Amino acid sequence: EIAGLNVERIINEPTAASLAYGLDDESDQVVAVYDLGGGTFDVSILELGDGVFEVNATYGDTHLGGDNFDKRLIDHIADDFQQDTGIDLREDPMALQRLKEAAEDAKIELSSAKSTTINLPFITATDEGPQHLNMDINRATFENLIGDLVDKTVPQMEKALDDAGHSKSDVDEVILVGGSTRVPLVQETVEDFFGRSANKSVNPDEVVALGAAIQGGVLSGDVDDVLLLDVTPLNLGIETLGGVMTTLIEENTTIPTKEGEVFSTAADNQTSVEVHVLQGDREMAKDNRTLGRFHLDGIPPAPRGTPQIEVTFDINADGILNVSAEDKDTGKEQSIRVEANSGLTDEEIEKMKEEAEKHAEEDERRKERADTINEANSMSYSVEQGLDEYGDQLPDDKRADLEDALETLNDELETASADEEITTLEDALEDLNEAWSAAGQEIRDAQQQQAQQGAGPAGAGPAGAGAGPAGGPAGAGAAGAEAGPAGGASSGNGTTASDDEDVQDADYEVVDEGDEE
């Protein structure tokens, strides 16, 4: 995007490589993609069939590649030169740069030739005059230098096969990707491991780009017989107040991907929160699949809604999900790792989708009721805070009306459930809103009159109703802001939940950071 390109889709490298090789093959097969580039290595096991490509497992080493081969060759040449002349070329930046270029050229030549000559005239100088480097390197010497590095890829291949649930004999095709796979020793190691010849029909430097071009054809409609499964099959999210599932990553999102959202506490002085990680397309948490739970402890005591807790979902190219929760004030963090696919079969995923579609209307009604309950909790909390701060400024009859409406709402909240109709709660919430609005007007009128009489600056107005609009992700309202100089009502604190809520199991609520300002 910085370069002015429109990013339509991100495709992982093994899938792209398989596309380049398997576009016209409709047969079911297992493919191993061995990718050894300049600085990283990975091996992926994929299943192909009927134009469908699915990555089953990926393992690798982010610090292994052709650069490591170059360094071994550089050190060998430099050590030999130092033994002859007493000069370490690695201490001279200019000489080292020339040596690096020569070593890379030699590595490339040794992929097709049995030996090569490194000739670097005037590589350095001494009191006796200029020094020249001239050395013959054969393939056997080079392979001896890098043999242990190539051997490090073997356990990764074993892990990938094991994780994918396949044996070596199951692999129908071995694909080589990356320039470093041109090294004969690498090819021999891979072929010996899998017991079959590797497919080298496509330029290993270009195979990923070619596969990406094919994917571009899929997106543009020019190619229609390929389907990629490197997407999230179901919604991913966490449980929030009222038993609602708040989605952070939606189904069919292309991976890798990363999403985060800021939540807060649901009770005063809450020092711990539980993160309940869910997978599924239902509105309520209990109807979805639990992927894991963990606690974030050590949150400094503060009024509900004050702490800022950022929850982040990060899925890598293998479909492995990492969920973290961080208290933005203290920097304390906890996380959990969920393996790819989480053990769900295609049939189970399809069944969960069908259940979500079947119960869509019912789930939506339950979510709306849960949001209303959250809204009522938030309203109750805001009014209680307002009465404590401004109650003495209200006429007795207005205060009595407000307290009666608050008591009625709290009574309804004790029995309210998202699984049942809550008409009486909705009526009580409306009555409390009306009483609170009337009380707020009384307080503002009194403060304006006091200011006009020169009795000092106007005080802050009462906190506004903290309820967010029904249907919000966690039923949360906007964070509270201080009232203006005339004592106008503020946007209330959007926290929810009763004060006696269990701290360990307390839920989150969403905080709109922009509204806080």
Domains identified in the chain and CATH numbers: 13-64+152-228 (3.30.420.40), 66-148 (3.90.640.10), 236-358 (2.60.34.10), 360-500 (1.20.1270.10)
pLDDT band of 210, cuts 50, 70, 90: confident
pLDDT band of 93, cuts 50, 70, 90: very high
Residue 462 has pLDDT above 60, yes or no: no
Match 């920097």 to its residue by tokens. 331
432 Cβ contact list (under 8 Å, min separation 6): 379, 380, 383, 402, 405, 406, 408, 409
pLDDT for the residue numbered 186: 96
Structure tokens at 465: 């109703």
Q: What is the DSSP letter of 283?
A: S
Q: What is the DSSP letter of 132?
A: E
pLDDT band of 71, cuts 50, 70, 90: very high
More confident residue, 238 or 25: 238
pLDDT for the residue numbered 311: 93
pLDDT for the residue numbered 317: 66
Structure tokens at 463: 């906190």
The mean pLDDT value for 419-443 works out to: 82
**CA separation for the pair 423, 157 (Å, rounded):** 61
* pLDDT averaged over every residue in the chain: 80
Q: Please tell me whether residue 466 adopts helix, strand or coil conformation.
A: coil
Dihedral Cα 370, 373, 379, 383, nearest 10 deg: -160
pLDDT band of 33, cuts 50, 70, 90: very high
Q: What is the pLDDT of residues 373-396, one digit of tens each?
A: 888 888 888 888 888 887 777 888
More confident residue, 188 or 463: 188
Residue 481 has pLDDT above 70, yes or no: no
pLDDT for the residue numbered 484: 32
More confident residue, 163 or 471: 163
The mean pLDDT value for 87-99 works out to: 94
pLDDT for the residue numbered 498: 37
464 Cβ contact list (under 8 Å, min separation 6): 382, 440, 480, 489, 490, 491, 492
**CA separation for the pair 29, 48 (Å, rounded):** 5
Residue 517 has pLDDT above 50, yes or no: no
More confident residue, 9 or 334: 334
Neighbours of 471 (CB within 10 A): 12
The mean pLDDT value for 461-487 works out to: 36
**CA separation for the pair 253, 250 (Å, rounded):** 6
Q: What are phi and psi of 89, to 5 degrees?
A: -65, -20
Q: What is the pLDDT of residues 250-303, one digit of tens each?
A: 876 767 788 989 998 888 888 888 899 988 888 888 888 888 888 888 888 888
Residue 473 has pLDDT above 50, yes or no: no
Q: What percent of the chain has pLDDT over 70?
A: 82
pLDDT for the residue numbered 99: 95
Q: What are phi and psi of 11, to 5 degrees?
A: -120, 135
Largest CA distance in the chain: 107
Q: What are phi and psi of 282, to 5 degrees?
A: -85, 155
Q: What percent of the chain has pLDDT over 90?
A: 29
Ranges 311-325, 372-386, 479-493: which has the least confidence: 479-493
Structure tokens at 327: 């208290």
**CA separation for the pair 18, 53 (Å, rounded):** 8
**Cα separations (Å) of 112 from 105, 107, 109, 346?**
12, 9, 6, 46
- E-strand stretches of 269-399: 272-279, 289-297, 309-315, 321-327, 333-338
369 Cβ contact list (under 8 Å, min separation 6): 416, 417, 418, 419, 420, 421, 422
pLDDT for the residue numbered 227: 53
